[in-house]
């Protein structure tokens, strides 16, 4: 697709920085209408109790930059940054490690391939078998804690944020803009995005736009909803951008 192409993207702001930058470099017009909004949990009791027990943890594993950002936000608000610095902080990718370093927390990126199993193998090689803190959201189960539990490594999943939809006023604005100008391509980045996008924009003519799926599972979900996929990526933002 050429520069100036309009692309609809519904991923959360925290999850889509990379793809938005890639599309900007391609000089494409991005309709970024987030249908996924991450908000801090309202009840801080579990967070406060966990933060009072930092000395019990040998590792803190950050599965994504989103998880790390919500974690650092709570750590800074409760004045616990020095305690976090004393614990080994591990990440799956360089961006998350860089973010932690810039926030004053030394971090180790375990593997550039961004695979959960590689992080677990890294911990085993270092014999980091002690209690592990895993900051996360409440909206779905991530795979790293499961890997650790299978190896009998104690892990505490600390829920820091919830997933919500957009405000009604924002959704109304999105729909109005789409009514004025339909995108030329729609990116479906997750199975959840299929459900949310179809519900939010029922008037969108999917037969006349280029439908791009992030992976096979998403393509299957789209097919089940009667939507034909034009292109399928390999699961990464880079591969999605390359299709445009």
Q: Is residue 73 part of a domain?
A: yes
> Do 158 and 68 fall into the same domain?
yes
> Do 22 and 101 fall into the same domain?
no
> Do 204 and 128 fall into the same domain?
no
> Do 86 and 119 fall into the same domain?
yes
What pLDDT is stored for residue 151 in this prediction? 81
Task: Kindly write down the DSSP assignment for every residue of 210-232, as one continuous string.
Answer: EEEESSHHHHHHHHHTT---SEE
What pLDDT is stored for residue 123 in this prediction? 67
Contacts of residue 15, Cβ cutoff 8 Å, sequence gap at least 6: 36, 66, 189
The tally of CA atoms less than 13 A away on the side-chain side of residue 187 is 32
> Do 88 and 50 fall into the same domain?
yes
> Do 76 and 151 fall into the same domain?
yes
Domain count, the chain: 2
Residue 7 β-bridge partners: 30, 185
> Do 146 and 199 fall into the same domain?
no
Q: Is residue 47 part of a domain?
A: yes
β-strand pairing of 6-9 with 185-188: parallel
Final residue before a domain boundary, out of 132, 163, 194: 163
> Do 153 and 48 fall into the same domain?
yes
> Do 60 and 149 fall into the same domain?
yes
Q: Is residue 55 part of a domain?
A: yes
CATH number for position 197: 3.40.50.10090
- How far apart are alpha carbons 241 and 212 in whole angstroms? 10
The helix (run of H) or strand (run of E) holding residue 123 is helix 116-125
> Do 87 and 179 fall into the same domain?
no
Structural domain that includes position 49: 39-163
- How far apart are alpha carbons 123 and 167 in whole angstroms? 41
Separation of CA 160 from chain center? 14
Final residue before a domain boundary, out of 140, 163, 186: 163
β-strand pairing of 29-32 with 37-40: unpaired
pLDDT tens digit at each of 244 positions of the chain: 556 689 999 999 988 989 999 999 999 999 999 999 999 999 999 999 999 999 999 999 998 899 999 999 999 999 999 999 999 999 988 889 999 999 999 998 876 555 666 666 766 666 667 899 999 999 878 888 888 888 888 999 999 999 999 999 999 999 999 999 999 999 999 999 999 999 999 999 999 999 999 999 999 999 999 999 999 999 888 999 999 8
What pLDDT is stored for residue 125 in this prediction? 64
Q: Is residue 1 part of a domain?
A: no
> Do 122 and 179 fall into the same domain?
no
- How far apart are alpha carbons 72 and 188 in whole angstroms? 29
Contacts of residue 33, Cβ cutoff 8 Å, sequence gap at least 6: 8, 9, 10, 166, 174, 177, 178, 200
Q: Is residue 171 part of a domain?
A: yes
Cα distances from 127 to residues 59, 119, 121, 131, 153, in angstroms, run 11, 12, 10, 12, 11
Give the ranges where 151-236 is alpha helix by DSSP (H): 168-180, 191-200, 216-224
Q: Is residue 45 part of a domain?
A: yes
> Do 180 and 130 fall into the same domain?
no
Final residue before a domain boundary, out of 129, 163, 197: 163
Q: Is 197 exposed, middle or buried (0-12, 13-18, 19+ CB in 10 A)?
A: buried
């Amino acid at each position: 697709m050429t520069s100036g192409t309009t692309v609809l993207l519904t991923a959360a702001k925290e999850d889509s920085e990379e793809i938005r930058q890639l599309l900007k470099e391609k000089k494409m017009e991005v309709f970024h209408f987030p249908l996924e909004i991450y908000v801090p949990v309202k009840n801080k009791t579990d967070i406060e109790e966990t933060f009072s027990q930092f000395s019990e943890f040998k590792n803190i594993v950050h599965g994504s930059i989103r998880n790390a950002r919500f974690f650092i936000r709570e750590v800074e608000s409760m004045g616990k940054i020095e305690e976090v610095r004393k614990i080994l902080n591990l990440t799956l990718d360089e961006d998350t490690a860089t973010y932690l370093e810039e926030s004053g927390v030394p971090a180790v990126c375990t593997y550039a391939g961004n695979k959960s199993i590689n992080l677990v193998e890294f911990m085993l090689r270092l014999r980091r078998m002690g209690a592990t803190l895993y900051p996360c959201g409440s909206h779905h189960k991530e795979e790293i804690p499961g890997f650790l539990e299978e190896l009998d490594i104690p892990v505490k999943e600390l829920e820091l944020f919830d997933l919500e939809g957009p405000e009604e006023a924002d959704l109304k604005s999105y729909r109005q803009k789409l009514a004025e100008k339909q995108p030329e391509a729609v990116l479906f980045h997750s199975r959840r995005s299929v459900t949310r996008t179809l519900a939010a924009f029922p008037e969108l003519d999917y037969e006349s736009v280029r439908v791009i799926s992030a992976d096979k599972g998403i393509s299957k979900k789209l097919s089940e909803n009667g939507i034909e996929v034009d292109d399928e990526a390999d699961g990464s933002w880079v591969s999605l951008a390359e299709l445009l």
